[in-house]
Structure 1
Amino acid sequence: MAERTSSSTLPSTPLPTSSSRTPHIIAAAVTAAAALGAGILFAVVSSGSAGDGGGSRRAFRSEGAIQEPRQAVVEALEAIRGGRCKTCGELVFFLRGPPQSPVSPAAFRGVLGAASATASEKLPPSNAHCLRVPASVLHYIQESYLPATRRQLVEAQQKQQPSPATPALQVEYNLFAQMVAADVTLRALSVERATPFDKDNRSHMNLLQQLWMAAGKPATTYSPLGQHWASIGFQGVDPVTDLRGGGVLALRQLVHFAQAHNTAFREMLAYNERVQREGKHSWYLLAVVSIQLTTQLMLEQDHPLHVAHLEMIYDTLCLGAAGDATAKTAGRRAVAGQKGVRLGSTRAADTAAFWEFCKSARSAEAGMFALHHALLLHFKECWTRDEPHVMEYNTYMSAKVFSTFFTTKWADKTLTAP
């Protein structure tokens, strides 16, 4: 488990900022603007967000966030102080805008990215499909809000008697900073998804061997090519050919699933072996299914992500070494509950200390892997229950698997308790 950090200790790792830009405002100005209260126009409750908070959750208008990222941050601060954004997932839900609203190119790619985008590049169908907040808001947070707030925290730390408002400022700083850090990780994972498997890369080849071992196969029988890969759910003699669309990330997530959920993984292999031996047609290609799920989650095209999904991505804590499939993972809310911390009490010193602890434990990569694994386990549960014909795969996935996973009613059951 990551070592707990004192609430008075400032973040030691500088966030990625451009030294060529001067922050537009100081955090005091943000705070003062937020305090205007009645002078700030909040977006109305989206019709698509009622299930995410009993109709009480608000979302910033993403169209306005493109032109007024400062206003987006001001409203987000009000939401944090009002208890509507207690986690990074809720903050992302708020900042990306009303779920049913269309996504503009500038919000998704940034102004420069939108100008250079090709006609073939697709946007997410709606804000609900987005993994990340508008690019202009992220840029403003990095370049203006975080540096200015950090200066305020430094000044508060230098005083003999810290202000009673310091814990709240620390919580707000960490909420935004950890969201930004997660965004950097998600961008790196997106690049990895587009990275083709390289047979000359030893680490890539090692992933195939790890997958073979996780399936319980003898090391002496391993070969990168052969009909034996069909037993794990690949379509041909070369498993690499199935990675198109998912890249190295898809293989890494499949390997991690096989190691972290080894019992379930072997049950899925045994199920397919049994039904084919019995002459039934309710088998499926496990590896291909896993790769498809990786691709769909990262491309932001097919499935809406609600607060529970966003919290799994942005608020998963890895209580062990990074990349260790045996490391315990837990949700931020669960860990806070176990420690007796009320996330909505932003002025409390123990809440500020908790967010400092989370700084070293949070892992968007672990969260993205956990979401993939939860979806694959949900598929396993549904398919084993119904045993549809393999030729019904596409219609079954849409009608029975995705429709019951990507919903406001879904709740995670896979992360371990702290």
Structure 2
Amino acid sequence: MSSSGKVIVVGAGIVGLATAWHLQEHGFEVSVLDRDGVAAGSSWGNAGWLAPAKTIPLSEPGLWTYGPKELFNPVSPMHMPLRVDPKLWLFLAQFMAQAFQRKWDSTMADLTEIDKVALEAFDELSIGGVEGLTHEGPFVIGFEEERQSAGFRKEIDGVSRHGQKVEMSRLENPQELAPMLNEQIQVAYRLEGQRFIEPGPYVQSLADAVVKRGGVIRAGAEVVHVAKGDRPAVILADGSREEADKVVVATGAWLPGLTREYGVKTLVQAGRGYSFSVATDIPAKHSVYLPHHRMACTPYEGRFRIAGTMEFRGPDEPFQQGRVDAIVSQAKKVMRGIDFNDRQDEWVGSRPVTPDGRPLIGQTKAENIYVAGGHGMWGVVLGPATGKYLAELMATGNTNPIIKPFDPLR
């Protein structure tokens, strides 16, 4: 493995760390800088789903039916505060402009190829020494009545139509696999071929692998500017400057502040998700999805993590307790054997959402400055594949067709 120079990766979430790991595969010396630390953002508290069958465009035609009513309802799963905020309103306008079947299909076609290789990319990390585990499905998809399932089944049909093989069957007794669901869940499906991780421990294992192979990871290193040049540099909040041969910006919802001047004009809006964990009378073994209530649930370190909501706010705005209370209110309707007063790990994370549902992966207008972000809810499942193909581009100059639709200069 010959040396190919030094790279600074800004951002220690799964996308930044996977990129660092693959850059090491190409012989680069890597330093990863993060304001807070490993998995401190949306890589920590999410549902940990490795579910290519659900890695789909967020903006879909149904938004025109339920979106206007839900968006400004403070307890709805999708929420935007009613305020004077031109950037937020511009994002909403562009997001809604994508909510047509033709545009959904276009984005889905572009996501399909990276969806197909997403799980293989996790296997590659495992073979390469990353000790974090991925857990096999099935996923349990539950509804209170048949009509609630129509939208979900349409999404799965759309995913299949674009070339993914999706195996799903009716589950006659949902409590057999998901004993925390109560009798209100009358309709259920078993979704095969998906996996999940425990996000915090998994991302830490990826960080450990990067360090074990000679990489440096620094917490408390807040990058406030990236300067172009033959040797680009990052400027830190303390005024210090560090140069490298190449820089990768993988800062999630904070990405625009470091990349806009280099031609990355696509809006990136924080779509904040909330989660917490609870104990269940019978230990959880499988991921559970309740589409009607927009709750994604996963076994997590002996407990059951319940995640939900899409809240369009600024990435650094305070935690909104009302969002967790709304999830609890909905969960109580369809779950049993849970003491919801014993909540742990209450969390909010800012997922980086683009209006067109496509990530931003590739080179900026500055020759040696690259970007990896904008995955929305799918940063975990697409992180390793993103890192693989971005590192390939940086090492060889060749853009793999899989990431070509995600050009950050589009």
Measured against the shorter chain, the TM-score band is: under 0.3
TM-score for both structures, normalised by structure 2: 0.23
More helix by share: 1
Q: Which has the larger radius of gyration?
A: 1
> Greater relative contact order (Cα 8 A, min sep 6): structure 1 or 2?
2
